[in-house]
Amino acid sequence: MSKNIEIEFKNIVTSDEFSRLMQFFEIGEHDFTEQVNHYFDTPEFSLKSSGSALRIREKNGSFELTLKQSHPEGLLETNEYLTQSEVQQMLKTGKITSQQIQKLIEKMSIATHKLQYFGTLSTARAEKKHLNGLAVLDHSRYLNKEDFELEYEVSNREEGHSAFLNLLEQLNIPVRNTENKIKRLYNEKYRQEKEK
């Protein structure tokens, strides 16, 4: 199991802006790798309500369970690798195989037996070092929808925020209020449920 604090800035971009970012960072189609995220929550969105998220990321044949929790510096991530059979079990039942992550969720007063699989989001991702951070270009697909996003991961919040804003300004990309991927997935699922 590992823990780390994630400090990142994100901005939804248009398809055209995404192409400009690819040119700026000299990123080609061959630089993207595919990752699949499976998200979990209770029917009442208890994790979402507490500012947390639980996902399994499938990448290059390995599976990692991640609990993201709010932290004064950004997000605290707790990670644990899973086997394919553990993943299949979790997708089917919502039951967490990791004792550590289960205990962390129970500490938030969330009943882990209520957890269930919520949906899958697939992302084509390319990364490039930029100044003292990592620029990440994501093209995500979920629930018959797609979006494009720039993320900037840093270790110093102030310095990173300044570099991120400068990059957007340099490429004439407006700052947009951007929710994280799980919230976008939830919002779309909620919108589709209401239309039924």
What is the percent of the chain with per-residue pLDDT over 70, rounded to a whole number?
100
Residue 148: pLDDT band with limits 50, 70, 90: very high
Does the structure show a pLDDT above 90 at 105? yes
Q: What confidence tens digit (pLDDT) does each residue in 52-96 have?
A: 999 999 988 999 999 999 888 778 899 999 999 999 999 999 999
Does the structure show a pLDDT above 80 at 190? no
Q: What confidence tens digit (pLDDT) does each residue in 2-40 have?
A: 777 888 999 999 999 999 999 999 999 999 999 999 999
Residue 194: pLDDT band with limits 50, 70, 90: confident
Q: What is the pLDDT of residue 29?
A: 96
Report which of 150, 152, 151, 146 is spatially closest to residue 185, judged by C-alpha positions: 146
More reliable by pLDDT, 73 or 134: 134
More reliable by pLDDT, 141 or 49: 141
Largest CA distance in the chain: 48
For the chain, give the mean pLDDT. Answer: 93
DSSP states along 127-188: EEEETTEEEEEEEEEETTEEEEEEEEEES-HHHHHHHHHHHHHHTT--------HHHHHHHH
Distances (CA, A) of 172 to 16, 166, 175: 11, 10, 9
Q: What is the pLDDT of residue 141?
A: 96
The residue with tokens 């993207």 is: 32
Please name each of the domains of the chain with its CATH number: 2-195 (2.40.320.10)
What is the percent of the chain with per-residue pLDDT over 90, rounded to a whole number?
78
